[in-house]
Amino acid sequence: MPILTVDGKTVEVPAGANVLQACEAAGVEIPRFCYHERLSIAGNCRMCLVEQEKAPKPIASCAMPAADNMVIRTNTPLVRKARRGVMEFLLINHPLDCPICDQGGECDLQDQAMAYGFDQSRYQENKRAVSEKYMGPLIKTTMTRCIQCTRCVRFATEVAGVEEIGAIGRGETMEITTYLNQAVTSNLSGNVIDLCPVGALTSKPYAFAARPWELKKTESIDVHDALGSAIRVDARGAGVLRILPRLNDDVNEEWISDKTRFAVDGLAKRRLDRPYVRVNGKLQPASWDEAFAAIGAALSSTPASRVAALAGDLADAESIKALKDLMTAIGSTSTDCRIDGAKLDASVRASYLFNSGIAGIEEADALLLIGSDPSTEAAVLNARIRKRWLKGGFKVAAIGPKVDLTYRADFLGEGADVLEALVAGQGFAEVMKGARKPAIIIGQGALSREDGAVILGLAHKLAEATGVVKDGWNGFNVLHTAASRVGALDLGFVPGEGGLSVGDVEAGKADFVWLLGVDEIDMTNLKAPFVVYQGSHGDAGAHVADVILPGAAYTEKSGTYVNTEGRGQRTKRAVFPPGDAREDWAILRAFSDRVGKTLPYDSLAQLRVKLVEQVPHFAALDEVTPAAWAPFGSDGEISPAAIGYAIENFYLTNPIARASATMAECVAVKQETACGCGHSHGATGTHG
Amino acid sequence: MSHGVAPAGPFEQPASFEFSAENKVWADKIIARYPAGRQQSAIVPLLDIAQRQSGGWLPRAAMEYLAGLLGMAVIRVYEVASFYTMFNMAPVGKHLVQVCTTTPCWLRGSDAVLAACKSRLGIDINQTTPDGTFSLMEAECLGACVNAPMMQVNDDFYEDLTAETTLKVLDALARGETPKTGPQIDRQTSCPEGGPTTLTTFKAAGE
């Protein structure tokens, strides 16, 4: 623990810290461009120069390890002059195009030029210009603005694990590019936009849309995967314009996936903004009264045993609770949230949680993936696994088809029999037994099979046999793909005594089906039953609906979501829902009144009190309540079929993403890349 | 390409590349110099072999081949190849003329050498003659300052040049001959002009 002096103040910093961190510990801000806490140190921008006693010249504080008895000064004439000099050099080849630059107003270079720069330029020569590069449909490049900090190169190489961005050429002709201007393939690529300290890499879909000071910023939670990444929703007027990550070291550090960031345009497209009722086979616009009347009539003519309700992937816990209460009032036990048919057991909480916690992955020293591809199911988690892998002493094995996980994994095979062999103590089970903190991640691809419960049982056996669960460590992890799932399971939104399951509804065994944002099930047998679709987008569920009730999307309501770890978090309303759309719990509450089964809450606050009454840990927001280990899963025969992965197309997993033009473009680019024809897929002249 | 010599005209990237058997042996020998897991260190000599095999330039296929051979990302190979001016990303002329214009050569008259090259070949710096025989490049110090000014043609140095001797060298190359390499005046290697040429004949001042 080195102790050093910064501007006369004595600070103690952890061993391995650098001088820049020591300065921050002393409360001194050091300007920087290339240095970033979560990336390796490059030391090439020179903006962080400080004076060290007995050193012959200023030192780059990011690249200098803090040592005992150092005397650092950051406010001397020498330091000020050094900063001015560095800034003058950086601005030599930087264009003065701030008025037309999307980074304007949130630009490190702009801010630091104001704070630390020289007031004029002595440069008379021509500035260099760099041709624009193509990095895919998400990243807009204006490479003339690049100051070669190489943050993007380091992010792609280290965090995202795709060595696709590099610096070619040398000296003044050095340029940042991808090989042959190919699109960056990572699902985390958008983060380079945040990392870029200047306007060289900006968001393509958000180009020229707004200035940062025009935006209303709302801190919220992401629902595109089950991680619940911390996000900031930037809106202007009624429209959400962009989504940025917030810091949350326990969940997403400071990264978000491309779907989280760029599916935002889907929030404004294909929206259900008024109720509809099917009349003579065609959906007609209707009033809330007419819609409720139609549902009430259908409900009264259906026996409670034939009434079912399903909760979709994006539903918040409040509306799930309201729907559950409504079904109980009606007398139906047919509720289900396991849209993908996963054989999850709602009675044992440890059986459906990511028990080690997302940050806990960094402690693990062996990992077995069972039917889970984290790079598509939870891209940010995948970066965390890679981070652990890069530290070394971490063995990864996987059961499932071979994919590029960005870290080395032994693919043991695709069949469920591989898991049986592991339970018998063979192969990778030895590695897990030898590990101090072994972990298992089981994906929905393994659990949504017919024999999912058996696989869950096998995983339980394996966990017990290999020390995955021990004192102070529970490495049994279920990785969900839906933001709503854990909350719904906590609320027991599964079939009760004699209740119908998702599979039964798909088979047409229900006569009245309430779909709360459910679009991912097989709809072929839902033409005959009376279907109520309550949701935000006109997707598959709305097509078969007899009544459509327009709901609010996650940016338009305050809703509680429990992430795959069991961490309850709350979204905040950034904008109002479009048209007649309402918050989902309020729709259910209003309808309950119409059919004489009034739900016992009149406000969101009252509903949340009931929520906590039923499930106490809903009171502890942003925290994880550890779940007790208990037996779960079942014994039986496993099917010889190969275990697949839950997500076929990362960009199209939910109605918001499917409505997004940006996501559609990503899919198109990915297909072109996959075609391997080697042609450039640039502008065609007819591309719009 | 952001730097380097422009080709004579449009050209095609070969679809594939593979070391010849002979070069593969050579490459393996170089790779074996580095400990396991550090094979990437061999990239520069391997790029050189690939460039020689491809006739003086590096096709993309060669870079992709080397990336596979050394287990590194193609962009990393591309970074190295584009960093060094000795690697050409497009076909260059049969004779790549590199005229040194760094201070010692410039003081000794490299301007005249370069002007002679330009007028004889009819091209400017970083260009290739339409027939693909010559490419002209300006080079930084090539380490033959003792015999300045000088130029390098492919692997050979031509030193102690004047405008006239430069033209002679180029004419000989154009005729398909191999001119005498090294000093183009009466000088033995890098010895003082006019002798002595050995230490035994050397007489210190005042002796």
Q: Average pLDDT for residues A607-623, to the nearest whole number?
A: 95
Q: Is the pLDDT of residue A615 over 90?
A: yes
- Residue pairs spanning A and B at CB distance below 8 A: 33
User: Does the beta-carbon distance from B75 to A169 stay under 8 Å?
Assistant: no
> What is the value of pTM for the model shown?
0.93
Q: Does A404 touch chain B (CB under 8 A)?
A: no
Q: Does A679 touch chain B (CB under 8 A)?
A: no
Residue B3 has a pLDDT of 59
Q: Of B99, B95, B100, nearest to B154 (Cα)? A: B95
The Cα angle at residue B65 between residues B61 and B67, in degrees rounded to 5: 115
User: Does the beta-carbon distance from B75 to A165 stay under 8 Å?
Assistant: yes
A674 — pLDDT class (breaks 50, 70, 90)? low
Q: Average pLDDT for residues B82-98, to the nearest whole number?
A: 94
Q: Which of B2, B75, B76 sits opposite A173 (nearest CB)?
A: B2
pLDDT digits (tens, 9 = 90+) for A562-583: 999 999 999 999 999 999 999 9
User: Does the beta-carbon distance from B60 to A165 stay under 8 Å?
Assistant: no
User: Does the beta-carbon distance from B76 to A178 stay under 8 Å?
Assistant: no
User: Does the beta-carbon distance from B2 to A169 stay under 8 Å?
Assistant: yes
User: Does the beta-carbon distance from B73 to A164 stay under 8 Å?
Assistant: yes
Q: How far is A177 from chain B (nearest CA, A)?
A: 9
The Cα angle at residue B31 between residues B27 and B34, in degrees rounded to 5: 160
Closest alpha carbon within chain A to B13: A678
Give dist(CA A610, CA A368) in Å, integer: 39
User: Does the beta-carbon distance from B78 to A163 stay under 8 Å?
Assistant: no
CA distances (Å), origin A559, targets A338, A387, A483, A490? 20, 31, 11, 15
**Set of chain B residues whose Cβ sits within 8 Å of the Cβ of A169:** 2-3, 82-83
User: Does the beta-carbon distance from A173 to B83 stay under 8 Å?
Assistant: no
Q: Average pLDDT for residues A302-311, to the nearest whole number?
A: 96
**Tokens encoding A72:** 């650092």
Q: For A421, list phi and psi in degrees, rounded to 5.
A: -65, -40
Q: Does A401 touch chain B (CB under 8 A)?
A: no
Q: Is the pLDDT of residue B2 over 50?
A: no
Q: Does A170 touch chain B (CB under 8 A)?
A: yes
pLDDT digits (tens, 9 = 90+) for B113-142: 999 999 999 999 999 999 999 999 999 999
CA distances (Å), origin A349, targets A115, A173, A261, A331, A345? 52, 58, 31, 26, 8
A118 — pLDDT class (breaks 50, 70, 90)? confident
The residue among A168, A178, A679, A680 with the most chain B CBs within 10 A of its CB, best to mutate, is A168
Q: Which of A167, A173, A180 sits opposite B79 (nearest CB)?
A: A167
pLDDT digits (tens, 9 = 90+) for A221-250: 999 999 999 999 999 999 999 999 999 999
For residue B104, say if its preceding peptide bond is cis, omega within 30 degrees of 0: no
B201 — pLDDT class (breaks 50, 70, 90)? confident
Asked which of A164-168, A301-305, A391-395, B202-206 is least confident by mean pLDDT, the reply is B202-206
Which ipTM was obtained for this model?
Answer: 0.88
Q: Which residues contact residue A317 at a Cβ distance below 8 angstroms, ignoring those fewer than 6 apart?
A: A484, A487, A488, A490, A491, A559, A560, A561, A562, A568, A611, A618
User: Does the beta-carbon distance from A165 to B83 stay under 8 Å?
Assistant: no
Q: For A397, list phi and psi in degrees, rounded to 5.
A: -130, 155
Q: Is the pLDDT of residue A683 over 90?
A: no
User: Does the beta-carbon distance from A179 to B75 stay under 8 Å?
Assistant: yes
Closest alpha carbon within chain B to A168: B79
**Set of chain B residues whose Cβ sits within 8 Å of the Cβ of A168:** 2, 78-79, 82-83
User: Does the beta-carbon distance from B73 to A163 stay under 8 Å?
Assistant: yes
pLDDT digits (tens, 9 = 90+) for A174-215: 999 999 999 999 999 999 999 999 999 999 999 999 999 999
Residue B200 has a pLDDT of 83
Please say whether the dihedral angle defined by the alpha carbons of residues A225, A227, A228 and A231, taken in this order, is positive or negative. negative
Q: Does A408 touch chain B (CB under 8 A)?
A: no
Interface of B with A (CB under 8 A): 2-3, 60, 72-76, 78-79, 82-83
Give dist(CA A11, CA A2) in Å, integer: 8
Closest alpha carbon within chain B to A182: B75
Q: Which residues contact residue B184 at a Cβ distance below 8 angstroms, ignoring those fewer than 6 apart?
A: B158, B159, B160, B161, B162, B165, B168, B169
Q: Average pLDDT for residues A498-520, to the nearest whole number?
A: 95
Q: Is the pLDDT of residue A258 over 90?
A: yes
Q: Which residues contact residue A314 at a Cβ distance below 8 angstroms, ignoring those fewer than 6 apart?
A: A223, A482, A483, A484, A517, A536, A553, A554, A654, A655, A656
The Cα angle at residue A34 between residues A260 and A114, in degrees rounded to 5: 95
Q: Does A176 touch chain B (CB under 8 A)?
A: no
Residues 468-487 of chain A with CB under 8 A from chain B are none
User: Does the beta-carbon distance from B60 to A180 stay under 8 Å?
Assistant: yes
User: Does the beta-carbon distance from A170 to B82 stay under 8 Å?
Assistant: yes
Q: Is the pLDDT of residue A346 over 90?
A: yes
Q: Does A164 touch chain B (CB under 8 A)?
A: yes
Query: Other C-beta atoms within 10 Å of B146: how many?
Result: 15
The residue among B3, B58, B66, B75 with the most chain A CBs within 10 A of its CB, best to mutate, is B75
Residue B207 has a pLDDT of 64
Q: Does A158 touch chain B (CB under 8 A)?
A: no
Closest alpha carbon within chain B to A178: B75
A684 — pLDDT class (breaks 50, 70, 90)? very low
Give dist(CA A164, CA A35) in Å, integer: 20
A625 burial (CB, 10 Å; 0-12 / 13-18 / 19+) is middle
Q: Does A168 touch chain B (CB under 8 A)?
A: yes
User: What is the enclosing helix (H) or strand (E) of A477?
Assistant: strand A476-479
